[in-house]
Amino acid sequence: MTESTVKVVCVTGGSGYIGSWLVSLLLDRGYTVNATVKDLKDENETKHLEALEGAETRLRLFQMDLLDYDSIAAAVSGVSGVFHVASPCTVDEVHDPEQELLAPAVKGTINVLTAAKKLGVKRVVITSSVSAIAPSPTWPSDIPKSENCWTDVEYCEQNEPLRSDVEQKLGMKILSCAVKVSVTLYQVYMKVCLDILALVANRKGRQQLWYPLSKTLAEKAAWDFAKEKGLDIVAVHPGLVMGPILPPTLNGSMRMVLRLIQGCTDSYENYYIGSVHVKDVALAHILVYENTTATGRHICVEAITHYGDFAAKFAELYPEYNIPRFPKDTQPGLLRFKNASKKLMDLGLEFLPMEQIIKDSVESLKSKGYIS
């Protein structure tokens, strides 16, 4: 590896919310960046990157599909480091989980790592998520969640709480109807209803946690690959990422902020464990890349908090918006903890506080015309 290639890196998903901030910070630091986008002809994916300081001479764009190995290899060729950011990111319902989430996350990660190994990349930074840390319902509630904690894959697959929740609510309705009919009718009725409920609840429940499942399986596959093939990888686990928006479209997390402002009462019980400024996320990636002492997983949140804490702070700062009130503990069993990201703090990261995260998000949503 020559001196000139040491500062050449690849960012997959460079056009996205986190990816474009990472590309921006890397260019600021003098790196040459191979950034991947899904469609080179789509100006929504390229224009905001081409406008970055340093892009004219040190940014190269590559069209890449996570399921197409050759398209990945083209972007990874000649670089010393890879930031694997690209992965579908949504908390909304998906219709085809395998195609929409699991395959690009898991096979995509293996394709990127295979290319990195074959092409002699020195270090790969994986953008994982707190969704690979939680939901982890068996983690003791008197110990803060840490990098030792993994999302419970079986829980995601079965999603028992949602299923029992649905069954409980609908079961009550069925019971109240049942007293009005004869015992025989009731038995037939119950059987048919429960069969239908089991189907519906199973389908709904399974759709709910596909995203955490995709991030967890992808990260597990990455560690297995690294161990087996001898590749240097390190992972970053951002919480709910917010702040200034560079791309012209809204990503999943900023859509959640917009929905909160619009009165959405979802408390993201299985998703939220804390928030983080998008610039801190980008910086965290660079810190774990540049510091060879950085190893393993890195939780990246300003603190472990509940979604209700976040919403309450939002309401306090912006009483003009009709922010819903939530119960004190929106994430049952989650211990609040200030120093959850100590590994990144020890590398020099000073996390922007929740107040700043909220203010920067609101200002950006305003400047882009999403809110007034």
Ligand X SMILES: NC(=O)c1ccc[n+]([C@@H]2O[C@H](COP(=O)([O-])OP(=O)(O)OC[C@H]3O[C@@H](n4cnc5c(N)ncnc54)[C@H](OP(=O)(O)O)[C@@H]3O)[C@@H](O)[C@H]2O)c1
Catalytic residues: 215
CB 248 within 8 A of CB 44: yes
**Which ranges in the chain belong to alpha helices (H)?**
3-6, 17-28, 43-50, 55-58, 69-76, 97, 108-118, 153-158, 160-178, 183-208, 210-229, 252-261, 278-290, 307-317, 342-346, 354-367
Q: How many residues bind ligand X (CB under 6 A)?
A: 26
Q: Which of 238, 243, 274, 308 binds ligand X (CB under 6 A)?
A: 238
Q: Which is nearer to ligand X, 80 or 129 (CB)?
A: 129
End-to-end CA distance of the chain: 51
- Exposure string for 171-203, b = 16+ CB within 10 A, e = fewer: eeeeeeebeeeeeeebeeebeebeeebeeebee
Q: Please state whether beta strands 123-127 and 233-238 pair in parallel, antiparallel, or not at all (unpaired).
A: parallel
Residue 275 binds ligand X (CB under 6 A): no
Q: Which is nearer to ligand X, 197 or 211 (CB)?
A: 211
Q: Which of 80, 129, 267, 330 binds ligand X (CB under 6 A)?
A: 129
Applying CB under 6 A, the span of 85-93, 111-119, 219-227, 319-327 interacting with ligand X comes to 85-93
Interface characters, 9-38, with ligand X (x: CB under 6 A): ----x-xxxxx------------------x
In whole angstroms, the minimum distance from the beta carbon of 109 to ligand X comes to 9
Q: Which is nearer to ligand X, 13 or 135 (CB)?
A: 13
Residue 147 binds ligand X (CB under 6 A): no
- Exposure string for 142-157, b = 16+ CB within 10 A, e = fewer: eebbebebebbeebbe
Q: Residue 95 class from Cβ within 10 Å (0-12 exposed, 13-18 middle, 19+ buried)?
A: exposed
Q: Which is nearer to ligand X, 187 or 367 (CB)?
A: 367
Residue 135 binds ligand X (CB under 6 A): no
Residue 251 binds ligand X (CB under 6 A): yes
Residue 86 binds ligand X (CB under 6 A): yes
At position 362, the amino acid (one-letter code) is: V
Q: Residue 365 class from Cβ within 10 Å (0-12 exposed, 13-18 middle, 19+ buried)?
A: buried
In whole angstroms, the minimum distance from the beta carbon of 124 to ligand X comes to 13
Q: Which is nearer to ligand X, 86 or 294 (CB)?
A: 86
Residue 115 binds ligand X (CB under 6 A): no
In angstroms, the CA 275 to CA 285 distance is 16
| Residue number with the smallest Cβ distance to ligand X | 16
Q: Residue 231 class from Cβ within 10 Å (0-12 exposed, 13-18 middle, 19+ buried)?
A: middle
Q: Which is nearer to ligand X, 68 or 195 (CB)?
A: 68
Residue 233 binds ligand X (CB under 6 A): no
Site residues for ligand X, 92-111, by CB under 6 A, read 104
In angstroms, the CA 23 to CA 25 distance is 6
Q: Which is nearer to ligand X, 89 or 323 (CB)?
A: 89
CB 58 within 8 A of CB 27: yes
How distant, in Å, are the alpha carbons of 238, 305, 347 from that of 6? 26, 38, 21
In whole angstroms, the minimum distance from the beta carbon of 370 to ligand X comes to 15
Applying CB under 6 A, the span of 87-95, 170-178, 284-292, 357-365 interacting with ligand X comes to 87-95
Interface characters, 45-74, with ligand X (x: CB under 6 A): x------------------xxx--------
In whole angstroms, the minimum distance from the beta carbon of 37 to ligand X comes to 6
Residue 243 binds ligand X (CB under 6 A): no
Site residues for ligand X, 198-227, by CB under 6 A, read 215
* Residue numbers at the binding site for ligand X (CB under 6 A): 13, 15-19, 38, 45, 64-66, 85-89, 104, 127, 129, 215, 238, 240-241, 251-253
